Amino acid sequence: GFFDAEAAEIVTYDPATQRAFVVNGGAKTIDILDISDPAAPSLVGQIDVTQYGGGANSVDFRDGVLVAAVEAAEKTDNGSILFLDSDGALIAQVEAGPLPDMVTFTPDGAKVLTANEGEPNDAYAVDPEGSITIVDISGGVADVTQDDVVTVDFSAFNDADLAPSIRIFGPNATVAQDL
């Protein structure tokens, strides 16, 4: 019993340390669990992601690096991608688009990608565009800077003819804002 409601959203695993990294939405942490004995997991650490923005939305792990997609304190603002070691220490941080989620390493490990949801606020007064952030980590994560980041948007599709089955929702929403 480590967790309350909203405690385990996304999980990734480091086979070298036998640790699981769990997005804990309720606590706005990434919980680090030792699962060397799966019948008796133990909490060995927590990463408080509020020092970097709002809550974490997604995590992935590869070659000793934990990567986390962290939304901004105001979800319509640009979020961050964190690069951390297996103990949770920050290696690097770069800016992503609004509400980054589904962070993943490419199969060759040379890049990290996030799907930036760009959700509107409750009043639809702010409705950021969705996008994809691509981070080139081929030179190693210790040297990653914002210069290694490209964010691709979907504005080229705003004037496209859409199939009748595709619905764009929200006041004056564009394709790039809604898809």
Domain regions of the chain by residue span: 54-178
Minimum mean pLDDT range among 111-120, 146-155, 166-175:
166-175
**pLDDT level of residue 134 (50, 70, 90 thresholds):** very high
- What is residue 178's predicted lDDT score, i.e. its pLDDT? 83
Host H or E run for residue 176: helix 175-178
Its pTM stands at: 0.92
- Quickly state the pLDDT bin for 1 (edges 50, 70, 90): very low
Q: Which residues contact 86 (CB under 8 A, 6 or more apart)?
A: 14, 16, 17, 19, 32, 61, 64, 66
More confidently predicted of 5 and 134: 134
Give the residue with greater pLDDT, 168 vs 49. 49
Tens digits of residue pLDDT in 12-53? 999 999 999 999 998 999 999 999 999 999 999 999 999 999
Note the pLDDT of residue 52. Answer: 95
What is the predicted pLDDT for the residue at 172? 84
Residue 15, token pair as written in the block: 């086979």
Which of 93, 84, 160 minimizes the C-alpha distance to 133?
Answer: 93
- Residue 81 scores a pLDDT above 80: yes
| Whether pLDDT at 91 is above 90 | yes
Report the pLDDT value the prediction gives residue 4, as an integer from 0 to 100.
Answer: 59
